[in-house]
Structure 1
Amino acid sequence: MKLGSAEHGDIQIDAHAKFAIVAARFNSEIVNNLLQGALSTLQDHGVSAANIDVLKVPGAFELPVLAQHLADSNKYAAIITLGCVIRGDTPHFDYVAGECARGVMEVSLNSGVPVIFGVLTTDTPAQARARADLEGDNKGVDCALCALEMTTTIKHIQAEL
Structure 2
Amino acid sequence: MNQITNQDVKNKEGNMSFAMIQAKWHGDIVGNCTAAFIAEINKQTDGMSNVDVFDVPGALEIPLIAKKLARTGKYSAVVATALIVDGGIYRHDFVSHAVIDGVMQVQLDTGIPVLSAILTPHHFHNSDEHHSFFSEHFKTKGQEAADACISITKLHEKLTLIE
- TM-score of the aligned structures, taking structure 2 as reference length: 0.82
- Give the whole-Å Cα distance in 2 for the aligned partners of 1:160 and 1:140: 31
- Paired position in structure 2 for 1:149: 151
Q: Deviations over 1:48-72 (max 9, x none)?
A: 3772110100011111100000011
Pairwise CA distance, 1:41? 0.8
Matched, 1:95 2:97: no
Which sits farther off after the overlay, 76-85 or 44-53?
44-53
Identity %: 26
Whether the aligned pair in 2 keeps the contact of 1:120 and 1:128 (CA below 8 Å) is: no
Pairwise CA distance, 1:132? 3.8
- Paired position in structure 2 for 1:76: 75
- Paired position in structure 2 for 1:34: 33
Letter in 1 for 2:158: H
Whether the aligned pair in 1 keeps the contact of 2:84 and 2:96 (CA below 8 Å) is: yes
- TM-score of the aligned structures, taking structure 1 as reference length: 0.83
Matched, 1:105 2:107: no
Correspondence 1:46-65 to 2 at 5 A: 46=45, 48=47, 51-65=50-64
> Cα RMSD (Å) of the superposition?
2.2
Letter in 1 for 2:117: G
- Give the whole-Å Cα distance in 2 for the aligned partners of 1:87 and 1:20: 27
Structure 1 stretches of 4+ with a deviation exceeding 2 A read 47-50, 125-132
Q: Describe the shift of the 1:107–1:46 C-alpha distance in structure 2 as closer, same or farther (beyond 3 A).
A: same
Whether the aligned pair in 2 keeps the contact of 1:15 and 1:47 (CA below 8 Å) is: no
Asked which structure has the greater CA Rg, the reply is 2
Pairwise CA distance, 1:130? 3.0
Whether the aligned pair in 2 keeps the contact of 1:19 and 1:52 (CA below 8 Å) is: yes
- Paired position in structure 2 for 1:4: none
Q: Any stretches of 5+ residues in structure 2 without a counterpart?
A: 1-12
Whether the aligned pair in 2 keeps the contact of 1:83 and 1:119 (CA below 8 Å) is: yes
- Give the whole-Å Cα distance in 1 for the aligned partners of 2:59 and 2:48: 24
- Paired position in structure 2 for 1:130: 133
Q: Deviations over 1:78-135 (max 9, x none)?
A: 011011111111121011111000001000111110100110110124567535417x
Q: How many residues are aligned here?
A: 147
